[in-house]
Amino acid sequence: MTDSFTIRVDGRVIEARQGQTIMEATEQAGIYIPRLCDHPDLRAHGSCRICTVLANGRSVAACTQPVERDMEVKNRHPRVEAWRRQLIAMLFVEGNHFCPCCEKSGNCELQALGYLHGMTATQHPHLFPRRAVDGSHPDILLEHNRCVLCGRCVRASRDVDGKQVFQFAGRGLNRHITVNTEAQLDHPGLDLKDKAVSVCPVGAILKKHKHYGVPVGERKFDHDPIGSDVESHDQDKVT
């Protein structure tokens, strides 16, 4: 028996292979599923839930859920997109995201996801937490106000750099990224070339001495929406 089969995504039949995740199969077919914690160079984590889809009627994380023969996936369903808007809105209000003055504006994946889902404001009250900024490293800035706890830096430091500089600490609203067990960022093992420094989807990990290197209006998402490198977003939504 061949390990290749078909699944249906929003009514479209696509090819899939045994061992692929839903996200891998859809990306291969030119279908974009929004995501935040997922990164092509890192092991899938399934923590942000932005990539939630309906698979055979059950909500699953597309980045970790394996495909199955004859699986029916709903990615652009109104209910699924409503879930995503809620998750994105909560990420905005849980931190301090002042987009107009953020160096990552235009290159920020959270901001781009907000635009993609038609968000101009949130219906939730902002929490305005008190969070520190760690500028102790000579070349790298850790801006806790913008961190969305995606875990990319943790996985990159552990699995790619082999250093484990970043880790999670705390629970619930007190959960945060810590550096070398609550030490400052000025860690002898952290280097500008580390993968952990370049994978942050927002403006939480920034390289110093390179501020606003690309002018506003010329940044990655200023003209093309997130996911446009995979597919066009001008299709009619599935009902």
Q: Which residues neighbour 60 within 8 Å (Cβ) at sequence distance 6 or greater?
A: 22, 52, 53, 54
Rounded to two decimals, the pTM is 0.90
The predicted pLDDT at position 236 comes to: 47
pLDDT tens digits, 162-175: 988 999 999 888 89
Query: Who contacts 162 (Cβ-Cβ below 8 Å, separation ≥6)?
Result: none
Q: Is 146 within 8 Å of 102 (Cβ atoms)?
A: yes
Residue matched to tokens 């030490």: 183
For residues 42-56, give the mean pLDDT.
Answer: 95
For residues 23 and 33, the answer to whether their CB atoms sit within 8 Å is: yes
The whole-number pLDDT of residue 2 equals: 65
Percent of the chain with pLDDT over 90: 74
Separation between Cα atoms, residue 153 and residue 200, nearest integer Å: 6
**Could you tell me which of 3, 10, 7, 39 has the C-alpha nearest to residue 22?**
7
| CATH number, span 86-223 | 3.30.70.20
Question: 228: Cβ–Cβ under 8 A, 6 or more apart, which residues?
Answer: 32
Q: How far is CA 118 from CA 89, 115, 121, 141, in A?
A: 11, 5, 9, 31
Sign of the Cα pseudo-torsion (107, 205, 99, 79, in order)? positive
Q: pLDDT-based confidence at 54, cuts 50/70/90?
A: very high
Distance, in Å, from the CA atom of 202 to the CA atom of 209, rounded to the nearest integer, reads 18
The residues near 110 (Cβ < 8 Å, ≥ 6 apart) are 36, 88, 91, 92, 97, 148, 201, 202
Residue ranges per structural domain of the chain: 4-76, 86-223
Secondary structure element (H or E) that encloses residue 110, with its range: helix 109-116
What would the pLDDT profile of 80-136 be if each residue is shown by its tens digit?
Answer: 999 999 999 999 999 999 998 899 999 999 999 999 999 888 889 999 999 989 988
pLDDT-wise least confident of 6-20, 99-113, 222-236: 222-236
The verdict on domain 4-76 having CATH code 3.10.20.740 is yes
8 Å CB contact between 62 and 51: yes
Mean pLDDT of 50-78: 97
Please report the pLDDT score of residue 239 as a whole number: 42
- Within 10 angstroms of residue 180's Cβ, the number of other Cβ atoms is 17
Count CB neighbours of 88 within 10 A: 22
pLDDT 10s digits, 174-228: 899 988 744 456 555 788 999 999 999 999 999 998 777 788 888 999 989 999 9
